[in-house]
Amino acid sequence: MTTFEALYVPAPLREAVSDQSWLAAMLQAEQALAKLTGAEADDDVFRPESYDIAALCEEGRADASPVVPLARALRERAPGAHGPATSQDILDTASMLVARNTRSLVIAELDGAAAAAVALAEAHRSTLMSGRTLLQRARPTTFGLRAAGWLVAFVEARRRLIDAHLPAQLGGPVGTLDPGLMSRFAFELGLEVPVVHWHSDRGPIAELAGALDAVGAACGKVGLDVVLLAQNEVGEVSQADAGGSSSMPHKQNPAAAVLARACARLVHANASLLVGGEHELDRAAGAWQAEWPALSAALAFAGGAAAAARRSLERLQVHPDRMAANARDLGGDVGAAEALVDRALARYREQE
Amino acid sequence: MTTFEALYVPAPLREAVSDQSWLAAMLQAEQALAKLTGAEADDDVFRPESYDIAALCEEGRADASPVVPLARALRERAPGAHGPATSQDILDTASMLVARNTRSLVIAELDGAAAAAVALAEAHRSTLMSGRTLLQRARPTTFGLRAAGWLVAFVEARRRLIDAHLPAQLGGPVGTLDPGLMSRFAFELGLEVPVVHWHSDRGPIAELAGALDAVGAACGKVGLDVVLLAQNEVGEVSQADAGGSSSMPHKQNPAAAVLARACARLVHANASLLVGGEHELDRAAGAWQAEWPALSAALAFAGGAAAAARRSLERLQVHPDRMAANARDLGGDVGAAEALVDRALARYREQE
Amino acid sequence: MTTFEALYVPAPLREAVSDQSWLAAMLQAEQALAKLTGAEADDDVFRPESYDIAALCEEGRADASPVVPLARALRERAPGAHGPATSQDILDTASMLVARNTRSLVIAELDGAAAAAVALAEAHRSTLMSGRTLLQRARPTTFGLRAAGWLVAFVEARRRLIDAHLPAQLGGPVGTLDPGLMSRFAFELGLEVPVVHWHSDRGPIAELAGALDAVGAACGKVGLDVVLLAQNEVGEVSQADAGGSSSMPHKQNPAAAVLARACARLVHANASLLVGGEHELDRAAGAWQAEWPALSAALAFAGGAAAAARRSLERLQVHPDRMAANARDLGGDVGAAEALVDRALARYREQE
Amino acid sequence: MTTFEALYVPAPLREAVSDQSWLAAMLQAEQALAKLTGAEADDDVFRPESYDIAALCEEGRADASPVVPLARALRERAPGAHGPATSQDILDTASMLVARNTRSLVIAELDGAAAAAVALAEAHRSTLMSGRTLLQRARPTTFGLRAAGWLVAFVEARRRLIDAHLPAQLGGPVGTLDPGLMSRFAFELGLEVPVVHWHSDRGPIAELAGALDAVGAACGKVGLDVVLLAQNEVGEVSQADAGGSSSMPHKQNPAAAVLARACARLVHANASLLVGGEHELDRAAGAWQAEWPALSAALAFAGGAAAAARRSLERLQVHPDRMAANARDLGGDVGAAEALVDRALARYREQE
């Protein structure tokens, strides 16, 4: 249902948030639980190929949850499976597993973008260009400092993404399950141990959504600046593989930068849903069930934004002559631009 | 990429916003244009089966548009095809065709929900129940008036949906194409004729998004009220086919009402993106390209919300004894409730 | 609490949404009701000067409503006042009165902006300039057509604003009051008669919010285009009274265009709240009480956006030589640009 | 312009974000800079009383900034003042000073709310009640665990608020000022030292906005749960000082809980603007200028939400008999509820 998804999001990221991946994550949670509770079940029972996720969703409409039919199917094959969990335990844990897997792909794209920004910052540490405020020429700066600004935003977004807590969920129907079991479950899956269940305290989802929004913002900012600097009248950068036009084959469109901005908007819309929900008592009657598509979309489009920003920066052609020409009336005093580039690079290296 | 989409949205609505439907709509626009411009092309050229939309999207990433490769493929088969259009003409026109087709499905669900509300309003015109403000018992009302309130919201949402203008788009690269051609193109496709091109004036998209949000709100409100009235302690309504729980098989969950609320949230998030974009000069560099997934999602989830509200109302069991018991301390004066039910029913009948 | 409000919003608009204006509107509603119900009360009782709105709000915190203490104060002075109304009747009716008064100010600014766009469209009907898509030069157009595009968006936003229904509210505690009384009340105040009470069906608020968002979008678009065309490297327009800079006195900032964009963002954030609420049963426990500041802000910033767009357009200096120079490689074929300008002007004249 | 602000926000918080406080913060930044750059200026020059902020804003409309006229006024009194700063340096630094001051007030309210939650969790560690999922009775839990859940959300929101970085800003017109000066400036004001200027990298604003949204969500959740548990049919809690109704004096409205929810919605709308902006090159032409009212509103309403949640919890009357009665069919097995309460309390104590 996500229109033109291959346009925005590279295949591995699309797969990481696919229904098949969600199913695999739910089964991974179920299997970990079965192991802890000593339920006897063949490994086959937990293979995603054994289930038809579309059919489970169709069936699950009657329960507002795909886990109710999944648990039924599981129990048919292995009576002790699903154990003390509630469907929210399985889905919330699965969402964290999906988030963890997708996050690593987002970070890989972000790292690629950061590396490209580093290269630009180093190469153009002293390349004079016009600084622009309110889109008016102001004072000189260097292109390296502009790239360093992008870099710092990448580094911060990465930090927030890594700092986002990804806790397991195992509270049972109303969140009163033994914390010891919850801890072993979390350990088994490599997730964090929450203080108490978070069935209706969506702090972890909101924090993750905020971090994805930060990724989108950092990448959208790159897209915006590239689009502005690539205007014909400015001409300070161009895309090596600029996109074409269906009606004007000669036109050079900064397609990757445009997609970075589009993805950033799509991240923000979905993140806003994830941050703003009200969850009733021990499980929400609507706000929770709205999270799954929004979380997948926020993750995937964040990855799409990072991939597009990376592509844009990796293939960015910089035109110092044009920069110099545009800045010719501003004098050549770039202040501490170079020292600031060095600060940004040092900050980048610190994170590693 | 839309997680669990079969959970939220009935199959016809999912198909109506699928990539295949978008492709068919783009080709319908191309064919109408070819006809008008006298381009020679077999009907085969415009069959969706002749193209691989996923591959076009993958390829289109270089251009931030799936139409650039599509136009290339079309021209290979029929050199005069695509004619004077720009990719935005094709995509915007396609979005209006997709919207029109999907809208009729949304309206059908909404009409079903409205019919169910009518039946409830008529049957319970005088059924005493407690009115509740700030979730506190206030004064008596009738369940018929509550249903009438839902009905009026459906009627208004339907009106806004039908009133939403669905204009064709045919401006060429920068919107300077002959308005006569634009008019014939619109006529050919049964779309409205815009005053001037709307490449970067997204009024029509925003108006449609606002109407979809109204559908979501009307349906989400039903979901919310049903969920509240179905609480065990209130017990004034229940769902005939209440959903189960993976851990508590005895539990009666108002699943359809819950899904109506979830869908309403998903509509709102996507509608907000569609309403809030800034589009630069003659075509936006990011805000436009973010619209397609958001529009599909807003349409489909609006349909999902209406289908869920309909399901909830069609299978709603009303418990007048419980209503009476809960209202026993409030006296029996329902004021003009019945007259107001009649007003709402009259308004509903007027629309037909 | 609205930081720097004089920066964004002209004084009459600020006053129109001030607490004092809300108080006056509440008292106007109370007075109309007193008249209808034959309550004996001096005119003095309904003078805003007789009450301290800040104190009422402070006191109203205990009731989550300023009307509870206001009604108490009224009844002390005129025992029959406030009659059968509930606080929501008074506040919702007051919000519609405030909206009506403020809307006329918004429309006046919008009309000024439209008149300025008309003048530009006429004067520059044939002024050649570069069309730009994805911020890249594409094909020639005329500046008149650009202005005509702005004009059409103003006309549509105005239409939506005027079409927004502004109904009175008079349902009593749970919306069961006599519709005849409601009709007379509405007539007395010059507001529309709703089908049934809309205490928890916020369609009218959402429709108004959508229209205000359309005003913001139309004005923000002007701001965006002006800012882009005023870039030094583009230089096709400038602001006659460009703003300065605290550190670079020579700089020419398109301040009005910038403020139009800022206001548009503020409208959108507040409108999104107004569109997206869930209202429980007969009165919401939170979503309703969040509307008042958001409605005032959406109204005032919409007016601010229109005033800023107007100022920007009224003082816009157009530089045809620069436009011609920037378009020199594109040929001179502006297609039907002039005919499209005429269509837009005809549409504008139709509305009058 | 913020309608009924005394209804939502306690006076100290309103003052902390008032124009007068923003002016004082701007002058504090100016004074720190003057000291560092050795500009000679009397202390009087930096007294807020010396300036008329409304007049500065009115005048600043021509520049889209109140700092341009302020800097002019400063220089008249002390020629060397304002020094190398740009208006964004002063405003961004002022926004961080305002944020710091207001944050401490928000935290004080949050701490009060947390203390009340602690008291409830301790007192009701073992108080049996029904757990509810999808608003249906599910399994037993304790009221202490519910309060513990609220507590954990407060603790996490507080952590995010404290972790939010509040950097000084001192980049000069295009962000090339000496980082040494920036560091001394930050030190002087007790703010953090950013890596590079953040004129158009709004990471710090977004992180703060996310934290305020988390405060709103934690408080809104309390409001929602209280409103639900205070329903007449549920009757498990009530507010000691429940609000009244203008038309039904006997009614007991959970006013504080309602206001907590209203404030949470207002925080979210404003935070969403702060998180989602696109800032062009070295200073945005619109997105930046939209931040000030939204930041003040997000801060103040977050404080209002915390104050209302606190008031609601401090005056919460718990009805264990009713809880027991409502849970009578669920058995008495509360699982590890008590152990989980202890975990939450331990986590709370850790933070201190």
Among chain B residues, CA nearest to D286: B278
Contact A131, A142 (CB under 8 A): no
Q: What pLDDT band is residue C249 in, cutting at 50, 70 and 90?
A: low
Which residue in C176, C181, C208, C326 has the most chain B C-beta atoms within 10 A of its own C-beta, making it the best mutation to test that interface?
Answer: C176
Q: For a pLDDT cut of 90, what percent of chain C falls above it?
A: 91
Q: What mean pLDDT do residues D242-247 have?
A: 68
Nearest partner of B338 among B84, B123, B24, judged by Cα? B123
Pairing of strands A237-239, A316-318: antiparallel
To the nearest whole Å, the CA of A34 is away from the closest chain C CA by 40
Q: What mean pLDDT do residues D49-74 have?
A: 94
**Catalytic hit among B283, B310, B311, B312:** B283
User: Is the pLDDT confidence value at D245 over 70?
Assistant: no
Nearest partner of B29 among B96, B80, B100, judged by Cα? B96
Q: What are phi and psi of A141, to 5 degrees?
A: -145, -165
Q: C1 and D246: CB-CB below 8 Å?
A: no
Facing B259 at nearest CB: one of A1, A9, A289: A289
Q: What pLDDT band is residue D352 in, cutting at 50, 70 and 90?
A: low
Nearest partner of B113 among B266, B265, B316, judged by Cα? B316
pLDDT value for C250: 66
Give the residue, A348 or B277, on which the prediction is more confident: A348
Among chain A residues, CA nearest to B87: A246
**Which residues of chain B have a pLDDT value below 50?**
none
User: Is the pLDDT confidence value at C187 over 80?
Assistant: yes
Please, what is the end-to-end C-alpha distance for chain C in angstroms? 38
Q: C5 and D293: CB-CB below 8 Å?
A: yes
Which residue in C281, C289, C340 has the most chain B C-beta atoms within 10 A of its own C-beta, making it the best mutation to test that interface?
Answer: C281
Chain A: touching chains (3 or more CB pairs < 8 Å) = B, C, D
To the nearest whole Å, the CA of C113 is away from the closest chain D CA by 17
The span from the CA of B2 to the CA of B9, in Å, is 11
Q: What are phi and psi of B303, to 5 degrees?
A: -65, -40
**Helix spans in chain A (H):** 5-8, 11-16, 19-37, 53-60, 67-77, 87-123, 143-163, 179-189, 203-229, 255-275, 291-314, 320-326, 337-350
Give the residue, B120 or C351, on which the prediction is more confident: B120
Contact A175, A84 (CB under 8 A): no
Helix (H, G, I), strand (E, B), or coil: what is residue D180? helix
pLDDT value for B82: 84
Contact B99, C142 (CB under 8 A): no
The span from the CA of A34 to the CA of A57, in Å, is 23
Which chain A residues are Cβ-neighbours of C134 within 8 angstroms?
Answer: 227, 253-254, 258
Q: For a pLDDT cut of 70, what percent of chain C falls above it?
A: 97
Q: B134 and D258: CB-CB below 8 Å?
A: yes
Q: A248 and C134: CB-CB below 8 Å?
A: no
Q: C137 and A230: CB-CB below 8 Å?
A: no
Facing B252 at nearest CB: one of D136, D227, D231: D136
Give the residue, A238 or B252, on which the prediction is more confident: A238
Which chain D residues are Cβ-neighbours of A177 within 8 angstroms?
Answer: 335-336
Q: What pLDDT band is residue A80 in, cutting at 50, 70 and 90?
A: confident
The span from the CA of D259 to the CA of D241, in Å, is 14
CA torsion angle for B99, B105, B110, B115 (degrees, to 10)?
A: 150
Which 3-state string (H, E, C) describes B192-209? ECCCCCCCCCCHHHHHHH
pLDDT digit string, tens, across residues D281-290: 999 999 999 9
Among chain C residues, CA nearest to A238: C136
- For D161, residues 6+ apart whose C-beta sits below 8 A from its C-beta are D103, D106, D107, D110, D211, D212, D214, D215
To the nearest whole Å, the CA of D200 is away from the closest chain A CA by 8
Q: D335 and A195: CB-CB below 8 Å?
A: no
Interface residues of B toward D, Cβ cutoff 8 Å, are 132-139, 227-228, 230-234, 245, 248, 251-254, 258, 326
Q: D285 and C54: CB-CB below 8 Å?
A: no
Containing A316, the helix (H) or strand (E) segment is strand A316-318
Helix (H, G, I), strand (E, B), or coil: what is residue A136? strand
Q: Supply B225's token pair.
A: 């009220």
Which chain A residues are Cβ-neighbours of C254 within 8 angstroms?
Answer: 134-136
Q: What pLDDT band is residue C276 in, cutting at 50, 70 and 90?
A: confident
Residue linked to tokens 């919010």: C209
Q: What pLDDT band is residue C205 in, cutting at 50, 70 and 90?
A: very high
Q: What pLDDT band is residue A127 in, cutting at 50, 70 and 90?
A: very high
pLDDT value for A245: 66
Q: What pLDDT band is residue A352 in, cutting at 50, 70 and 90?
A: low
Facing B343 at nearest CB: one of C156, C195, C339: C195
User: Is the pLDDT confidence value at C240 over 90?
Assistant: no
Q: C340 and B175: CB-CB below 8 Å?
A: yes
User: Is the pLDDT confidence value at A297 over 70?
Assistant: yes
Q: What would the DSSP string read from start to end of D39-80? A: ----GGGG-GGGS-HHHHHHHHTTTT-SHHHHHHHHHHH-TT
Q: C6 and D300: CB-CB below 8 Å?
A: no
Facing C233 at nearest CB: one of A227, A233, A248: A233
Among chain B residues, CA nearest to C139: B174
pLDDT value for A1: 73
Q: What pLDDT band is residue D252 in, cutting at 50, 70 and 90?
A: confident
Q: C174 and B344: CB-CB below 8 Å?
A: no
Arithmetic mean of pLDDT over chain A:
95
pTM of this prediction? 0.98
Facing A134 at nearest CB: one of D217, D283, D343: D283
Q: D268 and A285: CB-CB below 8 Å?
A: no
To the nearest whole Å, the CA of D22 is away from the closest chain B CA by 29
Q: C141 and B210: CB-CB below 8 Å?
A: no
Give the residue, D116 or C243, on which the prediction is more confident: D116
Facing C134 at nearest CB: one of A132, A233, A258: A258
Among chain C residues, CA nearest to B63: C134
pLDDT value for C245: 66
Eight-class DSSP state of C195? S
Nearest partner of A33 among A197, A194, A203, A177, judged by Cα? A177
Cα dist. A127→A310, A325, A338 in Å?
21, 12, 9
pLDDT value for B245: 66
Q: D251 and B138: CB-CB below 8 Å?
A: yes
Among chain B residues, CA nearest to C165: B156
Q: A255 and B62: CB-CB below 8 Å?
A: yes
N residues, chain C: 352
**Catalytic hit among D47, D245, D265, D349:** D245
Facing D172 at nearest CB: one of C90, C241, C247: C247
The span from the CA of A236 to the CA of A229, in Å, is 5
ipTM here: 0.96
Q: Specify the range with the lowest mean pLDDT, choosing from A241-255, A312-326, B1-15, D24-38.
A: A241-255
Q: What mean pLDDT do residues D218-247 have?
A: 90
The span from the CA of D5 to the CA of B11, in Å, is 48
The span from the CA of D306 to the CA of D149, in Å, is 16
Which chain B residues are Cβ-neighbours of A285 within 8 angstroms?
Answer: 223, 227, 254, 257-258, 261
- B246 catalytic per annotation: no
To the nearest whole Å, the CA of A350 is away from the closest chain D CA by 12
Which chain A residues are Cβ-neighbours of D157 within 8 angstroms?
Answer: 203
pLDDT value for B352: 65
